[in-house]
Amino acid sequence: MADWKKVAALLLVIAGATAGAVALYGRRKEIPRVRPLDAVRADDFSAHGSATIGSKIYPLGAKSGVTRDGGVMQSYDPATDSWIDLEPIPTQRSFAALAALEDGIYVIGGTSGTNDFHGAFERYGPVENLWTRLPDLPTPRNRLAAAAVAGKIYVIGGMVAYSGRGNTDVVEEYDPESDRWTTKSRMPTVRHGHAAVVVSNRIYTIGGYTTTGDALIDETGTLEVYDPSANQWSRGAPMPTKRGWFGAASIGGRIYVFGGRTGGIAPTEVYDTTSDTWETRAPLPEYRQRFVVGVAHGRIHVFPGERTTREIQIKIWIYDPLADTWGP
């Protein structure tokens, strides 16, 4: 595999054969960077995903609580504290998963006003500012998680129906080299609204909501680890605070989990992948759910999300893991 296909970063998830590139040469309009983000529509920052390539973070807005469609793509450069508007995603949707390889950002699945369970799979190339349509995800779903390991993308769990046992444990692997999907070993716990974080080429799947009868709201702290090289799952120590719709990121072999749907509190908990233990850290200053995070320069950026499905938190918080402190 060529070097440019190798994994660059990960953060937090189409009809039949591959189609050609979607050539959309949108304007790269600079927008001011402020807190709160008055220059950016607040409803663009909810039920969305994010990925990181190099030192830039790419949030994809989804307008949850306002519509079920979304596709506001932007890039944020922490070094210059600036935003750039990018070309919107061709297939408008929310509750999708994002993963990054060095050649681009892959957006998988989701839901919209016209399709509850998308199989849409599209790649954004930051260099050319183009979207490319790729082969459909074999198991259409929303509220899923995705991760990139060793040049391949793994799509894990999610929701396939709104009634009955609507969650799934299906894991599917996409290989850019062959442009094909392969079914892998199922995740032990069916769930949606969970996170998938990569440490040392293993995928740590954390939290979310499990299915019990007709209910789709049972939160869990379950942590399960997938090893792509062996195609095997194992279990780690559960997250102390059961929750879904939280933010998660890894730095230095540790996984940091923030906020989520926790009934008004915003706990920060850190998992050490070496010792298989959790510890509590300084809480996120504001309660929020359905948000994403990005890592740059050793700090974790927590992007806007929801307080409720109709109330959007628009402040960005930055966490310093070494000092265990928060700042704007």
Q: What is the DSSP string of 102-115?
A: TTEEEEE--B-SS-
Read off the tokens for 77. 């450069």
Please calculate the CA angle 294-315-98 and round it to the nearest 5 degrees. Answer: 30
Report the alpha-carbon distance of residue 13 to residue 288 in Å, rounded.
Answer: 19
Strand order in the sheet with 202-206: 195-199, 202-206, 223-227, 232-236
Here the CATH number for the domain that contains residue 240 is: 2.120.10.80
Q: Is residue 93 part of a domain?
A: yes
Report the alpha-carbon distance of residue 168 to residue 162 in Å, rounded.
Answer: 12
Q: Name the one residue in this structure whose structure tokens are 């849409």.
A: 120
pLDDT, average across residues 292-319? 82
* Pairing outcome for strands 254-258 and 268-272: antiparallel
At residue 163, the pLDDT reads 75
User: Is the peptide bond preceding residue 36 cis, with omega within 30 degrees of 0?
Assistant: yes
At residue 32, the pLDDT reads 34
Q: Is residue 204 part of a domain?
A: yes
Contact 283, 276 (CB under 8 A): no
Model confidence pLDDT, tens digit, residues 127-175: 889 999 999 999 999 999 999 999 999 999 999 988 767 899 999 999 9
Q: Work out the mean pLDDT of the chain and round it to a whole number.
A: 82
Contact 104, 54 (CB under 8 A): no
- pLDDT confidence bin for 27, thresholds 50/70/90: very low
Q: Is residue 122 part of a domain?
A: yes
**CA distances (Å), 132 to each of 104, 261, 295, in order?**
10, 34, 25
Report the alpha-carbon distance of residue 217 to residue 214 in Å, rounded.
Answer: 9
Q: Is residue 142 part of a domain?
A: yes
Q: Is residue 298 part of a domain?
A: no
* 74 vs 9 pLDDT, higher one: 74
Model confidence pLDDT, tens digit, residues 232-285: 999 999 999 999 999 999 999 999 999 998 888 899 999 999 999 999 999 999
pLDDT, average across residues 17-22? 27
Q: Determine the residue type at 3.
A: D
Report the alpha-carbon distance of residue 245 to residue 312 in Å, rounded.
Answer: 14
Closest CA to 222 of 203, 213, 209: 209
Percent of the chain at pLDDT > 70 equals 78
Buried b / exposed e across 76-103, counting CB within 10 Å, b at 16+? Answer: bebeeeebbbbbbbbbbbbbbbbbbbbb
Does residue 115 register a pLDDT over 90? Answer: no
Contact 51, 42 (CB under 8 A): no
Q: Is residue 310 part of a domain?
A: no
Model confidence pLDDT, tens digit, residues 38-85: 444 444 555 568 889 988 999 887 544 444 566 678 888 888 888 888
Contact 8, 113 (CB under 8 A): no
At residue 65, the pLDDT reads 42
Give the domain range for residue 47. 3-251
pLDDT, average across residues 220-238? 98
Q: Is residue 273 part of a domain?
A: no
Q: How many domains does the chain have?
A: 1
Q: Is residue 229 part of a domain?
A: yes
